[in-house]
Chains A and B, each alone.
Chain A
Amino acid sequence: MTLLQVKNLNIAIDTPDGRIEIVKQVNLSVDKNDTLGIVGESGCGKSITALGIMSLLPTHSMVSGKILLEEQDLLALDEEQMCRIRGNRIGMIFQEPMTALNPVQTIGVQVAEALDLHKQLQKAEITSRVENLMEKVGLNVRRFPLNLYPHQLSGGQRQRVMIAMMIACRPDLLIADEPTTALDVTVQEQILELINDLAQKYGMALIMISHDLGVIAQTTKNVMVMYAGRIMEQGNTVDVFYNMAHPYTYGLFVSIPKTGSSRLETKKRLKSIPGHVPDLRENIKGCPFAPRCFRAQDTCRLQDPPPIAFGNGHTAWCFYPLVEKKSNHAAG
């Protein structure tokens, strides 16, 4: 059953240099208990899409399209109604655990925040639930009493507190915006596992935003590759990773450093995608990736690429995909 459906989402911000279209024509859907990964370089609109779903964009941004949470259009809600959805039905975990907790409040108070806001509970009931949550995220209450302050915890521990805070009301959907980027690799593993376990246990759908393909491969069933605010390729994670169709997805893949490949056997340099993410202030014609693409032809620079389906919902927006298309019917 579809939990979240985003239809033709456009997000633009007016700046002194003119209007910037940060997100353009994004469609996505997440089923209950489903996991969706959003990948892309920095500045390609991943986080903005997530903030758009939460209605937490800067006040002067313009949003159009539809964001349906079980038939209810979130864009039509006012701030007050939206406050009842945030933290209650949709939770969000942020990238920087060092700054995502209020330095002057105890962790107990912060974890209790969502419960306090959305559920009518007695004080004692809230405390026992908070203690329970802390155990669930792997922070033993005896070692980590609720009256600790964030600066007394490490990054990984703070991220656990953040997770506890966001799953407190057992939301239907959990958005994790690069939850492990600021953590070191060993902790990263534990946090990902924790998020996945909790999502499964509580039946929460998960949107995992990352620039790390490894994280996406490990945690998600479906994936969406974004570039310059547009979807480049989407589909089942296995399909996309084994039969990548879009040159951009391929570029992301070959940019991953592999162990042993660079030192002795071959003196190959780490591959990267040439060029940089386009300046969105400039009017982009055709495929935004064309200037950096090794397969780009003149058509790419002039026309918007059509969606090309490869079966099983695997779609790429490209004139010259890397794999043969299965049928001529374009599917959205």
Chain B
Amino acid sequence: MMLDRFREILRHGMGNRSFVIGGLISLVFFIIALLSYAWTPHAIENIDIKNKLLEPSWTYLLGTDHFGRDIFSMLIMGARNSVIVAFVAIGIGIGAGVPLGLIAAAEKGWIDELIMRFNDFTFAFPSLISAIMITAILGPGAVNSVIAIGIFNIPVFARVARGAALSIWKKEFILAARSAGKEKFRISVEHVLPNIFSILIVQATIQFALGILAEAGLSYLGLGTQPPAASWGKMLNEAQTFLHFAPQLAIYPGLAIALTVLGLNLFGDGLRDVLDPKLRRIR
């Protein structure tokens, strides 16, 4: 069944340009991130001042930075870093946000009010600034930046889950399930959640891109990933100093961020259209 559904999505997706292009870019990005576990051309911890700021060559595909580290290898490690941060942050967002949204939709009344007003409260702060605030309190570091980004994914998922769940709760099959004697908790898990799954998946791809962006932002400010680990944001930060005579140091990570975020957003958009049969027919 799962496989059939997957195949069906792929079949419909092939006709959707943003799904195909975005999917390919995202796929390449994930493969590169996975690749880092098996192989990188050079170890990125190796500082080799002699070979600093080299032009691209066969040994150093994209040249080296001011410490003589291989830029290509750093980009690969940066991809891995972005994937991990975004995945964990989304995990936090979904893990806490979706249950909150489901509870709010199931219980309604003051519980709903409480959860949603708390959501509004966290929403009122611009997410990057709040992330900066949290890392400033908890101290800089990869783990803390993941937590900060994750916390700001919670209200996003809570809101999306609640809205979608409310529309499912109005359906007659929920009434039928209640007539069969099912309590709200099991209805939420067994009936509501599977029906809002596609909406959550689409939101997750979009939040994934935002997560990568936020991580790059935090690392750029020196609050995220710490040396010697590689991060696209940190590479941008370090490239600043050499912007005049080695602009490629900033261009490569910048391009990597832009391309990945673009690819993921396109994929998310395409996936939404593919998963929603109503939109599918219009195209």
Contacts and interface: CB of A to CB of B under 8 A. Distances in A.
Interface of A: 54, 56, 59-60, 79-80, 83-88, 90-92, 94-96, 99-105, 113-114, 117-118, 162, 165-166
Interface string B189-210: 0110011000000000000000
Interface string B97-129: 000000000001100000000000000000000
B113 to A, nearest CB: 13
Nearest to B108: A59
B195 A166 contact: no
Given A59-B109, A103-B195, A105-B194, A83 B181 contact: yes
Interface stretch (B26-34, B167-175, B223-231): B167-175
B195 A165 contact: no
Contact of B191 (A80, A95, A102): A102
Contacts of A102: 173, 177, 191, 194-195
Nearest to B170: A99
A83 B195 CA distance: 23
A165 B109 CA distance: 30
Contact of A114 (B109, B181, B184, B191): B181
Interface of B: 108-109, 171-173, 175-184, 190-191, 194-195
B176 A101 contact: yes
Contact of A118 (B176, B178, B181): B181
A87 B173 contact: no
7 contacts: A91-B179, A92-B179, A99-B172, A101-B173, A103-B173, A113-B177, A166-B180
A100 B176 contact: yes
B36 to A, nearest CB: 37
Given A86-B180, A88-B181, A104 B108 contact: no
Nearest to A111: B180
Nearest to A106: B1
A36 B177 CA distance: 24
B181 A86 contact: yes
Contact of B180 (A59, A60, A117): A117
Contacts, number: 71
A130 to B, nearest CB: 13
7 pairs of A and B residues whose beta carbons are closest in the complex: A87-B181, A87-B180, A86-B181, A92-B179, A114-B180, A99-B172, A100-B172
Contacts of A91: 179-180
Contacts of B181: 83-88, 114, 117-118
A299 B248 CA distance: 93
B12 to A, nearest CB: 16
B166 to A, nearest CB: 13
A103 B172 CA distance: 11
Contacts of A113: 177, 180, 182
A84 to B, nearest CB: 6
Given A94-B172, A100-B173, A104-B195, A87 B179 contact: yes
Contacts of B180: 86-87, 91, 113-114, 117, 165-166
Contact of A162 (B176, B178, B183, B194): B176
A88 B180 CA distance: 7
A165 B183 contact: no
Nearest to A92: B179
A329 B209 CA distance: 78
B157 to A, nearest CB: 20
Contacts of A95: 172
A60 B109 CA distance: 8
A236 to B, nearest CB: 29
A165 to B, nearest CB: 6
A84 B178 CA distance: 11
B172 A83 contact: no
A103 B184 CA distance: 18
B195 A99 contact: no
Contacts of A59: 108-109
A72 to B, nearest CB: 15
B176 A94 contact: yes
Contacts of B171: 99
Contacts of A90: 179
Contacts of A84: 181
Given A59-B108, A59-B109, A100-B172, A80 B183 contact: yes
B175 to A, nearest CB: 6
Contacts of B108: 59
Contacts of A54: 178-179
Nearest to B194: A104
A313 B182 CA distance: 37
Nearest to B171: A99
Contacts of B175: 56, 94, 100
A210 B171 CA distance: 21
A99 B172 CA distance: 6
B21 to A, nearest CB: 29
Nearest to A79: B183
A157 B194 CA distance: 23
A94 B173 CA distance: 9
Contacts of A162: 176
Contacts of B109: 59-60
Nearest to A147: B1
